[in-house]
């Protein structure tokens, strides 16, 4: 008589979360492994990226055309953005100079009202209001030297009464700087950031005519305007 010995076969099935050991025999053994732990996230932010913040303080001035300057106290203005080191640019002023861009969605500059503005020593009439709507705020900041130059574009919207009169927006484009800004008729001198980030930003711009006879005549447009603001600019390293 010839004897025949049966040899059982084994098949291993593999899935992402478990191993199944299946014996083709009367007795089956199933082993299920625990899920693998995810690998730790080692992604880091770029080491040349910084956070920047902007806050208006104190009293400054705004001037336009032939009129005396307005005394302007925009306390409470603020904004935030990011900055990065300027690598590979041979024309940069210094090794510590940063390229900064503020998010205009977070940038708030208080309007000119009777609470923030005086003209010839008297508060602005309560029925007058000039809203400031920033569109561009970016440039360079040098934390070591304290020098700041920021391109600033904004719309100034003049209203009188409760919707009785609304003039077309005046578009102002200038560079707010801690250095000196000189136009044909107006000029201002800024102050560089100190150890706490306090500085004075000045900028002269030319305001073009708008589609409004009264505003063009009242302000003698086109005309120069001057902005003079005190601010605190903070720069922090995202890696710290």
Out of 83-87, 192-196, 198-202, least confident range: 83-87
Q: In whole angstroms, what is the distance from residue 24 CA to residue 218 CA? A: 98
Question: In this structure, is residue 8 part of a structural domain?
Answer: no
pLDDT value of position 92: 62
Radius of gyration of the chain (CA): 32
Question: In this structure, is residue 227 part of a structural domain?
Answer: yes
CA neighbor of 138 nearest in space, from 154, 122, 124: 154
CA neighbor of 146 nearest in space, from 95, 191, 101: 191
Q: What percent of the chain has pLDDT over 70?
A: 77
Domain that holds residue 121: 49-237
Question: In this structure, is residue 75 part of a structural domain?
Answer: yes
Number of structural domains (the chain) is 1
Question: In this structure, is residue 220 part of a structural domain?
Answer: yes
pTM recorded for the entire structure: 0.77
Beta bridge mates, 171? 155
Question: In this structure, is residue 37 part of a structural domain?
Answer: no
Q: Is the pLDDT of residue 10 over 70?
A: no
Question: In this structure, is residue 217 part of a structural domain?
Answer: yes
Per-residue pLDDT tens digits for 25-67: 444 444 444 444 445 544 454 667 899 999 999 999 999 999 9
Out of 23-27, 201-205, 230-234, least confident range: 23-27
Q: Is the pLDDT of residue 13 over 60?
A: no
Question: In this structure, is residue 18 part of a structural domain?
Answer: no
What are the tokens at 231?
Answer: 């601010």
Per-residue pLDDT tens digits for 122-131: 999 999 999 9
DSSP at 125: P
pLDDT value of position 237: 81
CA neighbor of 149 nearest in space, from 78, 83, 62: 83
Q: 202-220: string of b/e by CB count within 10 Å (b at 16+)?
A: bbbbebeebebeebbeebe
pLDDT value of position 24: 47
Q: Is 221 helix (H, G, I), strand (E, B) or coil?
A: coil
Question: In this structure, is residue 9 part of a structural domain?
Answer: no
Q: In whole angstroms, what is the distance from residue 165 CA to residue 149 CA? A: 35
22/197: higher pLDDT: 197
Per-residue pLDDT tens digits for 95-114: 889 999 999 999 999 999 99
Maximal C-alpha separation, the chain: 126
Per-residue pLDDT tens digits for 158-173: 999 887 899 999 999 9
pLDDT band at 94 (very low <50, low <70, confident <90, very high): confident
Q: Is the pLDDT of residue 6 over 90?
A: no
Out of 107-116, 156-165, 180-189, 228-237, least confident range: 156-165
pLDDT band at 238 (very low <50, low <70, confident <90, very high): low
pLDDT value of position 91: 63
The angle at the Cα of 163, spanning 162 to 166, to the nearest 5 degrees, equals 130
């Amino acid at each position: 008589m010839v004897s025949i010995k049966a040899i059982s076969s084994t098949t291993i099935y593999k899935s992402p979360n478990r191993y199944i050991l299946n014996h083709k025999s009367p007795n089956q053994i199933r082993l299920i492994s625990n899920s693998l732990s995810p690998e730790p996230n080692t992604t880091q932010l770029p080491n040349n990226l910084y956070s920047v913040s902007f806050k208006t303080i104190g009293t400054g001035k705004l001037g336009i055309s032939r009129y005396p300057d307005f005394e302007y106290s925009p306390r409470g203005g603020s904004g935030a953005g990011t900055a990065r080191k300027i690598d590979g640019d041979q024309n940069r002023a210094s090794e510590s100079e940063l390229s900064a861009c503020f998010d205009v969605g977070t940038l708030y500059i208080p309007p000119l009202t009777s609470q923030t503005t005086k003209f010839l020593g008297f508060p602005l009439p309560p029925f007058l209001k000039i809203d400031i709507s920033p569109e561009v705020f970016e440039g360079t900041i040098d934390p070591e030297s304290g020098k700041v130059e920021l391109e600033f574009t904004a719309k100034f919207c003049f209203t009188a009464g409760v919707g009785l009169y609304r003039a077309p927006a005046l578009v102002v484009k200038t560079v707010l700087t801690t250095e000196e800004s000189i136009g044909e008729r107006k000029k201002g001198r800024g102050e560089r950031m100190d150890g706490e980030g306090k500085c004075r930003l000045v900028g002269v711009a030319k305001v073009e005519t708008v589609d409004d006879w009264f505003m063009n005549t009242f302000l003698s447009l086109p005309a120069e305007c001057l902005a003079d603001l005190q601010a605190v600019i903070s720069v922090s390293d995202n890696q710290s």
